[in-house]
Every structure is written in C-alpha cells, then in structure tokens.
Amino acid sequence: MAGEQVAFFKGGFRPLSDATVSVRSKALNYGLGCFEGIRAYWSKPENQLYIFRAEDHYERLLLSTKIVHLKLNMTVEQLVAATVELCRRNAPREDTYIRPLVFNNSELMSPQLTDEPAELAIYTLPLRDYLDVTKGVTACISSWRRVSDNMIPARAKPTAAYMNSALARLEAKENGYDEAIFLTNDGYVSEGSAEHIFIVREGKLITPSSQEDNLDGITRRTLCQIAPELGFEVVVRRISRTELYVADEAFLCGTGAEVCPLVSVDRRPVGDGKPGPITMALQKLFWRVVRAEVPKFADWCKPVYPK
Ligand SMILES: Cc1ncc(COP(=O)(O)O)c(C=O)c1O
C-alpha cells in the first residue's frame, strides 16, 4: 500500500482526503444512512486478495437502503465492480476491511427522508483482529436493550442503530468486560454490539434468528452453511439469558469478529473458561473458507487481482 488511499465517492475514485461532507449533512446530523462491513482476505500462497461474499453484502446493503428509504441507483454487479476497482487502486497486500456507506447528504434542516438520490462512499482500511480470537473474550449482559426492529430496523445496518451498540460497548468496557450482549425487549438473547452469538449445548450449535432484533448476518449464515462439513448440527431458536451461563461453549461471530470464543458471561465461565473445541474447529474451517482454500465454498471469494 503506497501513497494516498483512494475512496469511491460521488460516483468516482478520488483521494480519501477529498471524500468529505458538510457539517450540515443530514447523515451527520440525524444518522440517516446505512452501511456494510466487508472483509477481504490476503492469501499469501496465491498472492491474491479475496473479497468475502461481496455479492451477499451488497444484496444486504440494497435491502437496507429499501428498508430505510435511501435511493441508491446502482446494482449489486456495479457495486461489486466498484469495490474490486477500489481495492486494485489501493492495492493492499494484507487483510482489509471495506466500508460501503450510503447516506442522505441533503443539507436541509429536518430529519426527513427524501426521494433524492443518496450518496455512496466506499473506503478500505487494514484490519487484522477486531477481537481477541485466540484467547477469547469476556462479555456481560448489557443494561441497554437492543433497539427493536420497530424502532430502528435492526435487520438492516442503519448508522443510527450504532448509538445503541456504542453505549452497550462503553458500559461493558467501563465495567471490565470486552464485549456486551444485548437482550431483546422481551428478555431473550439478541446479539453482541456488532456480532452474532452462538452457544453449544449437547454438541449442537444454537443461535437466535433475526426475529430477535438482530442483523440478517452473513457470518452467521456462513457458519450455518459450513458447520455440517464438520458434522455439527445448527439449531436456530430463542436463547434465554441463563442458557449462556450453562452453555458448554459460546462464541461471537461477524465480519469484524470472525469466530471469537466467549470465555465468560457475567463473570460465569463458559464451559471450563477456555475456548471450546467445537468453536475452535469451526474457527479453523472458517479461516480456510475465507481464504478460498476450500473448493466447495471458493465461489464466495472474489479475487481482486487478475489471475
Ligand atoms: C449489530 C451487528 N450484528 C451482527 C453483525 C455481524 O454480521 P455480519 O456477519 O453480517 O458481519 C454486525 C456486523 O456487521 C453488526 O454490526
């Protein structure tokens, strides 16, 4: 990576420092936007950067824009092509995070969504571990409840919902935990501040559905699809708070978090308080999948550089 990074903004590529908005932007004042988080993985043996499930992320972005009434006049194919070109221009040779952001950039006063086209920005940055995926993390049940789908749509990725995540994460950190786990307003397990959650009981993987006010997650979907390769059954159902305390294993997952063991919840050790064997087996397979090392799932990995 040499020289100034570029961003995709206002329909073209420009230096990152030129991709700016006015302080009057509605996106800044009212959080009228939605976004994606995508990872691209560097494969050393192949000298290649692979964008993981790019089409799925952009399909979700377009669904988010539909939910929050932002008009983005681009197709999934155009969005993927712009992202591949952006990566080529920034030329990373390391694991990279890609952030597409769609927002209402009007400078008119009032938190009103309009029919005018939304702005799109895409930028990249280097990203290794978002959480400690080797040792695992501690978590608490947040005193903040997850915003329900009828308040700020949790199924999508609206920028405004991340105030909820940030408050929960702050509280967790201030109380000495690494992460926060949200409950829904009904008191069932929803998700982490930016991750989904799985528990393991009697050898089965259990995770709550998106009806529990959580994002329609791509890593969760990936794990549900690859777990059978290791002979693990996945059950999608409600999880009670106290099931977290008696689970044999538990882990968080997400584009940032990847597959991250949970070693304690509310200071009760999960299992024996160490990353569990099923979690670690899944993590190992996940890392092979995202670097295009498993032929069955290699279509999820889009090469950036010409082969
Ligand atoms: C609130 C929230 N939940 C879950 C996730 C994990 O979802 P995904 O696996 O699609 O990245 C994220 C991160 O994107 C998130 O922000």
Domain of 36, CATH number, reads 3.30.470.10
What 3 state SS string does 155-172 have?
CCCEHHHHHHHHHHHHHH
Same-domain pairing of 109 and 180: no
Q: Is 196 in the pocket of ligand 1 (CB under 6 A)?
A: yes
Low-confidence stretches of the chain (pLDDT beneath 50): none
What local confidence, expressed as pLDDT, does residue 2 receive? 58
Q: Which of 35, 41, 90, 22 is nearest to 67 (CA)?
A: 35
Considering only CA atoms, which residue is closest to atom 6 of ligand 1?
A: 254
Same-domain pairing of 141 and 285: yes
Same-domain pairing of 161 and 264: yes
On whether the CB atoms of residues 266 and 237 are closer than 8 A, the answer is no
Q: Is 169 in the pocket of ligand 1 (CB under 6 A)?
A: no
Same-domain pairing of 165 and 241: yes
Give domain status of residue 146, yes or no. Answer: yes
Strand residues in 240-300 grouped as ranges (E) = 249-254, 258-265, 268-269
Question: Active-site residue numbers?
Answer: 157
Give domain status of residue 306, yes or no. Answer: no
On whether the CB atoms of residues 144 and 180 are closer than 8 A, the answer is yes
Give domain status of residue 174, yes or no. Answer: yes
Same-domain pairing of 98 and 142: no
Rg of the chain over Cα atoms, rounded to whole angstroms, equals: 19
Same-domain pairing of 122 and 152: no
Considering only CA atoms, which residue is closest to atom 11 of ligand 1?
A: 255
Give domain status of residue 302, yes or no. Answer: no
Give domain status of residue 179, yes or no. Answer: yes
What local confidence, expressed as pLDDT, does residue 114 receive? 85
Instruction: Determine the structural domain holding residue 103 and report its residue range.
Output: 6-126
57 φ, ψ (degrees, to nearest 5): -65, -40
- Closest ligand 1 atom to 221 CA: 9
Q: Is 195 in the pocket of ligand 1 (CB under 6 A)?
A: yes
Same-domain pairing of 238 and 216: yes
Give domain status of residue 1, yes or no. Answer: no
Centroid of ligand 1 to alpha carbon of 112 (angstroms): 26
Q: Is 218 in the pocket of ligand 1 (CB under 6 A)?
A: yes
Query: What is the total count of domains within the chain?
Result: 2
What local confidence, expressed as pLDDT, does residue 149 receive? 93
DSSP 114: -
Same-domain pairing of 114 and 207: no
Provide the CATH number for the domain around residue 157: 3.20.10.10
Same-domain pairing of 147 and 234: yes
The best mutation among 167, 196, 258 to test binding of ligand 1, ranked by most ligand atoms within 8 Å of the C-beta, falls on 196
Same-domain pairing of 167 and 284: yes
Centroid of ligand 1 to alpha carbon of 139 (angstroms): 17
Residue pointed to by tokens 């008191």: 187
Same-domain pairing of 120 and 228: no
pTM of the model: 0.96
Same-domain pairing of 183 and 286: yes
Give domain status of residue 304, yes or no. Answer: no
Centroid of ligand 1 to alpha carbon of 3 (angstroms): 31
Give domain status of residue 237, yes or no. Answer: yes
